[in-house]
Amino acid sequence: MENFNNKIAVVTGGGTGMGRELVRQLAKEGCHVAMCDVIEDNMLETYEIVSKESPNITITKHVCDVSNEEQVNRFRDQVLSEHKTETINLLFNNAGIGGGGSFVDSSREEWERCFAVCWYGVYYCSRAFMPLIVASSEGHLINTSSVNGFWASLGGTPHTAYSAAKFAVKGFSEALLDDFRINAPHVGVSVVMPGHIGTSIAINTGKIITMNASGASAERTDEEMQKVKENMIKLGAPVHNQSLDQIREIIKERANSFKEEAPMTAGEAATVILDGVKENKWRILVGEDAKALDKWVRESPEDAYNISFNLEKRNENDN
C-alpha cells in the first residue's frame, strides 16, 4: 500500500498517544478514518483536532471497549453505516492499557482487565473487521505489540498481564503471514513493537482500571493504594513515611514523566508505523531503544532475565 489516499482506516484507542497521531497523519494523507476509544473525552479532542486539520476527510468517532465483543461488533456495524461502505483497507489494533503486573499479588480483576484489552481487543477487532479487509482490493492489518512482546520484564519489575498479551499479539501477527499468503495474498500484516514512547498509557490505565459501571473514573481506594505502597517499598522505593495521598501524587508524577521525558514522541512513532506499512514491513520496531533491546535479547536470551541484564545493557547503550 504505497499511499493512504481515499482508503478507509479503523484505529482503536484513537483518543490519545499513538492512536491520535495515527488518526491525524492518516487523515492528512487523504485517508478516511473511523476511530474508537473507551474514554470519550479523549476521543472528542482527537475528533476536533482532526476535523480542523483535515476538513475534507470523513472521520467518525465511536465509544467502544475493545475487550467487549458485543461492543466491537456494534462498532463495526456503525463504521459500515456511517462510512457507507462494505469494506475497509486498514485496521490499526492500537488500543492498550497496563496493569496486572504480578500474577501472584495483583488482583485477578486487574490482571484480566489488562490482558483482555491488550489481547482480546486485538482478537475481537480482527474477527469483526477481517472479512471487510479481505473483501477490499488492498488491505493491511497492523497490530501493536511492544518490546514486552519479546522481553517480558521492566528491568526486574513484574509485568505479567501486559507481557503475556503482547507476546500473544506478536505470535498471532507472525502466524498470519502464512495464513494471508495462502488465503488472502492481497492483505498485509505488520506487528508494531514500540519502546518508550511519549504517550498517556500510564495515565489512561489508571482511569480505565478504576472505571465504575457507568464509565466514570474514580480514585483507587485506600486499601488499593496501601498495596501499591507496599509494592513500591519491595522494589526499594523510599516511601515508608509517605501518606497514601502522597503516593497518589508520586504515581501521577511518574505517569506524566513517562510521557514528557520519552526519547520519542507519539507523532514520531506514528510516522515510523505508517512508513513501515507503506514499505510492507511485517516487523516494525519503533525507537532506538526497541532496536537495541531486540538485539540484546537475541544475542543473550539466557541472560535476558538476570537482574543485572537491564542495567548492563543500558550502560552499554549510554556508552
Bridge partners (DSSP) of residue 198 are 265
In angstroms, the CA 308 to CA 276 distance is 33
**126 and 30, same domain (yes or no):** yes
Last residue of a domain, one of 261, 284, 303: 261
**233 and 151, same domain (yes or no):** no
**163 and 225, same domain (yes or no):** no
Q: Is residue 289 part of a domain?
A: yes
Q: Three cell numbers at 72?
A: 466491537
Q: Is residue 3 part of a domain?
A: no
- Which residues lie below 8 Å from residue 148, measured CB to CB, with a gap of 6+? 154, 159, 162, 163, 166, 167
**170 and 230, same domain (yes or no):** no
**Cα dist from 138 to 6, 58, 93, 111, 282, whole Å:** 12, 19, 18, 37, 16
Q: Give the residue from 280, 284, 274, 282 showing the smallest Cα distance to 5.
A: 274
Average pLDDT per consecutive 10 residues, the chain (319 residues; last block may be shorter): 96 96 98 97 97 97 98 98 98 94 90 97 98 98 96 82 97 98 98 80 43 54 73 67 75 57 86 97 94 91 76 49
Last residue of a domain, one of 225, 242, 261: 261
**51 and 133, same domain (yes or no):** yes
Q: What is the DSSP letter of 186?
A: T
In angstroms, the CA 5 to CA 136 distance is 15
Q: Is residue 141 part of a domain?
A: yes
Q: Give the residue from 14, 203, 16, 212 showing the smallest Cα distance to 109.
A: 212
Q: Give the residue from 95, 52, 144, 12 showing the smallest Cα distance to 23.
A: 12
**106 and 242, same domain (yes or no):** no
**109 and 237, same domain (yes or no):** no
Domain that holds residue 250: 211-261
Q: Is residue 2 part of a domain?
A: no
Q: Is residue 204 part of a domain?
A: no
- Dihedral angle sign, alpha carbons of residues 152, 154, 156, 158: negative
CATH number assigned to the domain comprising residue 60: 3.40.50.720
Q: Is residue 1 part of a domain?
A: no
**124 and 83, same domain (yes or no):** yes
Q: Is residue 21 part of a domain?
A: yes
Q: Is residue 55 part of a domain?
A: yes
Q: pTM, whole model, 2 decimals?
A: 0.81
**173 and 305, same domain (yes or no):** yes
**194 and 310, same domain (yes or no):** yes
- Please calculate the CA angle 294-281-296 and round it to the nearest 5 degrees: 5
Number of domains making up the chain: 2
**61 and 106, same domain (yes or no):** yes
* Residue with grid cell 511492544, as numbered in its chain: 146
In angstroms, the CA 265 to CA 181 distance is 34
Last residue of a domain, one of 261, 278, 293: 261
**45 and 155, same domain (yes or no):** yes
